Amino acid sequence: MSWLAVVAALYLCLASAGAAERSPWFEDGRPGAQARQAVELLAAAADQGLDPRDYAAQDLQLAVARAAQGAAPGSVAAHRLELALGEATRRYLEDLHLGRVDEGPAPRSAIDARRRAFDAGAYLEAALQAHRLAEAAREAAPQLPLYEQLREQLARCRALVGDPAWAQALPPLPAARRGHGGRVAPGEPYAGLEMLARRLVAWGDLAPGPSDDAPRAPPTAPLYTGPIVDAVRTFQQRHGLGGDGVIGSATYAQLQVPPAARVRQIELMLERLRRVPAMEGPRLIVVNLPEFMLRAYEIDAGRVVVREEMKVIVGKALDTRTPLFDAEMRYIEFSPYWNVPRSIVRRELLPRLRRDPAYFDREGFEFVAPDGRALASISRVRLDELDAGRLRLRQRPGPRNALGDVKFVFPNRDSIYLHHTPATALFARDRRDFSHGCIRVERPVALARFVLRDMPEWTPGRIEQAMAAGRSTTVPLARPVPVLLAYGTALVKGGRIQFYADVYGLDRRLDAALREHAASRPRLEFRS
């Protein structure tokens, strides 16, 4: 027996016992305004990045239309339709508000708490009683500006699916010559200029030619010059690829991605936003790992404003990925010690110190005994004790300290924190996954000023003095600042869509989880 038959039988038993109440879905024996609103919401589920098939949208839309125009349905048929509308709309609201699969950054405890706080059935019942189903659906969606911006971009990307600009692959990049290969620099010839121009016009990076659908004609000689170079620079900037105008392998790969793949990328980002915790305090720090960027937000007169923005370096994609989670920053350490994690000691530093004992003094290391004593000299015996775990290794504050001059601490089970770094040259790279998992920040003074805003005694001068002091100082924050380590490969900036590489493969994992969820979930069906 199907789920619908079981629920219908139960409903009819209750109705026969006198428990039935006036239907919120029917008016004078026919589907009313709320039934029509429900099927409209379900049919438009794709606008939210959801799948209308998960909610029997087409079947229910047809059933409601038939019931509204044909003979009034009998009591059994009406009850079946009511139950189907209720279950499909409840599922839709739950998916819209909570998401469909459990994928970070929220920990399991937070996910369970959110599910307890949002009873989709009760939420639907209240909306129907108040005759505000459409408004309730809008309120169930993430109340984030980015969510609405991405929905608009989703519609634009869908309009490009099937565009003839992607009917064929771009011609390959020229073979190696003059010491480089697989790239096209400004001023050089390229056989794919016409197709390239069409794609750039479709994405809005290049202005169209004289007619609405014709791109600018490439030069008579097939040279990569002029407006098309500027358009490629814009395209690169939207894809986290700098903006030098040179079409290399990374730019070529992004130019080849079809609109259908971008549609899915936006859908995945909409799904992730359903799991983002609400901004409850006056300030929030968000690190977007695929973008390699940190933004510090503040609520000003009811508006969320970006106060600081800076580059970051995150964990290596191959083996030391930075995890996703949210926590509260509770203190800052100026001129910090670096307590070297045992994994780094065993894998990197212990072999290095055995080969080159002078590295110990050169880099400012010291051993720490179980009783807390600092041991400032190296010996073979102490290296053996370090290997056995009887000693710890730490690096003293100073110009060579791996944490730089300041460390921002938000206690978490993964021992991840934000910190400065002496290796500032790495911030010039487009792709910045170089760390062991912790996050290096480009502008530590600016971040410290933002975090210490509630403590006016910490002036910019005092912050810089503490960073350069060479003595470790811990400063508890007057008010904790929430920190969110997020994963977004599709964003909107200045009204333009931005795409970033799936550096940790989490888009692929989320896509697979959603497909598995759809395949294993009982499919809602309705046959009138």
Angle CA(323)–CA(97)–CA(479) in degrees, nearest 5?
A: 55
291-337+400-486 shares the fold of 162-257: no
**Nearest Cα to 350, choosing from 391, 403, 309?**
391
Q: What confidence tens digit (pLDDT) does each residue in 376-431 have?
A: 999 999 999 999 999 999 999 998 999 999 999 999 999 999 999 999 999 999 99
- CATH number belonging to domain 162-257: 1.10.101.10
Give the contacts of 247 (CB within 8 A, at least 6 positions apart).
173, 183, 184, 185, 190, 224, 232, 255
This prediction has a pTM of: 0.87
130 secondary structure, DSSP code? T
- In angstroms, rounded to a whole number, what is the distance separating the alpha carbons of residues 55 and 526? 10
Q: Which amino acid is at 171?
A: P
The two structure tokens encoding residue 341: 């994690």
Domain 291-337+400-486 -> CATH class: mainly beta
Closest CA to 173 of 243, 241, 224: 224
How many Å apart are CA 121 and CA 479, to the nearest integer?
A: 37
Q: Is 79 a catalytic residue?
A: no
What distance in Å separates the CA atoms of residue 2 and residue 6, rounded to the nearest whole number? 6
Identify whether 13 is a catalytic site residue. Answer: no
- Which residue numbers in the chain have pLDDT < 50? 1-20, 179, 212, 214, 217-221
Q: Which long-range contacts (CB under 8 A, 24 or more apart) does 58-65 make?
A: 59/525, 59/526, 59/527, 59/528, 60/84, 60/85, 60/88, 60/526, 62/528, 63/526, 63/528, 64/31, 64/35, 64/36, 64/39
Catalytic residue selected from 79, 419, 420, 436: 419
What are the residue ranges spanned by the domains of the chain?
Answer: 3-146, 162-257, 291-337+400-486, 342-396
pLDDT at 181: 59
Give the C-alpha separation, 419 to 429, whole Å: 18
Q: Which residue stretches of 189-248 are H helix?
A: 193-203, 227-238
HEC profile for 381-436? HHHHHHHHCCCEEEECCCCCCCCCCEEEECCCCCCCCEECCCCHHHHHCCCCEEEC
* Cβ contacts of 295 within 8 Å, gap of 6 or more: 285, 286, 288, 306, 308, 309
- Report pLDDT for 104: 55
Residue of 97, 157, 420, 438 marked catalytic? 438
pLDDT digits (tens, 9 = 90+) for 185-200: 999 999 899 999 999 9
Q: Are 224 and 193 in contact (CB under 8 A)?
A: yes
Dihedral sign for Cα 418, 422, 424, 426, please. Answer: negative
What tokens were used for 203? 């994405």
Residue 527: predicted pLDDT = 79
Could you give the CA distance from residue 103 to residue 172 in angstroms, rounded to a whole number?
37
Nearest Cα to Cα of residue 306 among 149, 450, 485: 450
